[in-house]
Amino acid sequence: MRRALQMEDNMARKKIIAGNWKMNMTPTEAVALVNELKPLVGNDDVDVVFCVPAIDIIPVAEAVKGTNIKVGAENMYYEEKGAYTGEISPNMLKDAGVAYVIIGHSERREYFKETDEIVNKKVLKALEHGITPILCCGESLTQREQGITIDWVRQQIKIAFQNVTADQAKTVVIAYEPIWAIGTGKVATTEQAQEVCAAIRVCIGEIYDEATAAAIRIQYGGSVSGASAPELFAQADIDGGLVGGASLKPDFGKIVNYNK
Ligand code: PGA
């Protein structure tokens, strides 16, 4: 019964597959890549997002016009405007045509010292401006070996969602990305990925309620490829993927069309 309900919820949630280009592609290269991938990523069953470097947002927004592709940013600052040299505000993103923003990617947490508190401020600010956060969480290899994966991820989620209302939370996309699986070619097993995504959904149910837990979309990220996508995305609590390396290649078309 529980399993049947879970599968019903799974079918009700539209899959979302987002590319994370990271620090790759000049504006010229970005437009060429969009033109190469455009014919490969048509699939009405899924939301398709290209999260691109800030300087590529405007040319990419232009290049995806008339397609199913939405544009996302890879980061955003949590202040409205002012003396924050080098930062980009939610208004700037919105005006440039951005619909999604990756927040709290493990690379930003590690190299740019983003804390859970900063991540929370960014989530709140993005929601305030009608930009959908793709909120990243995930454990290191050491944490997995110590057996604290679920505790760690639950803590990241609880802090990230502070002061976020249930109605807002329903619109957030969570990306579970085990750090040891990012860019390593070492994809988590479907059981590992499903276990943590299910635990995240339980955590959302505890913070809010069953309806919010059933509505929120949870992606898996970490070395997703055209080969691994079908099995991963068939899991009860996995609603798509956040894709790094493979999002820069035609393989992204296979990932988006995992159900064909
Ligand atoms: P990967 O990156 O697909 O190259 O492992 C995923 C990510 O960092 O979002």
| Nearest atom in ligand 1 to 242's CA | 9
Specify the pLDDT at position 10: 81
Using CA atoms, how far apart are residues 38 and 251, in angstroms rounded to an integer? 12
pLDDT in tens, 2-13: 566 676 778 789
Is residue 15 a part of any domain in this protein?
A: no
Q: Which of 100, 223, 228 to mutate to test the pocket of ligand 1 (most atoms within 8 A of CB)?
A: 223
Is residue 251 a part of any domain in this protein?
A: yes
Is residue 228 a part of any domain in this protein?
A: yes
Is residue 247 a part of any domain in this protein?
A: yes
Q: Cα–Cα–Cα angle for 200, 88, 66, nearest 5°?
A: 80
pLDDT in tens, 123-182: 999 999 999 999 999 999 999 999 999 999 999 999 999 999 999 999 999 999 999 999
Residue 191 has pLDDT above 90, yes or no: yes
Specify the pLDDT at position 2: 57
Residue 18 beta carbon below 6 angstroms from any ligand 1 atom:
no
| Nearest atom in ligand 1 to 181's CA | 5
Is residue 18 a part of any domain in this protein?
A: no
State the residue range of the domain holding 81.
2-10+25-256
pLDDT in tens, 66-79: 999 999 999 999 99
Is residue 139 a part of any domain in this protein?
A: yes
Structural domains counted in the chain: 1
Looking up residue 29, the CATH number of its domain turns out to be: 3.20.20.70
Q: Which of 173, 182, 256 to mutate to test the pocket of ligand 1 (most atoms within 8 A of CB)?
A: 182
Indicate the DSSP class of residue 237: T
Specify the pLDDT at position 5: 64
Is residue 20 a part of any domain in this protein?
A: no
**pTM for this predicted structure:** 0.97
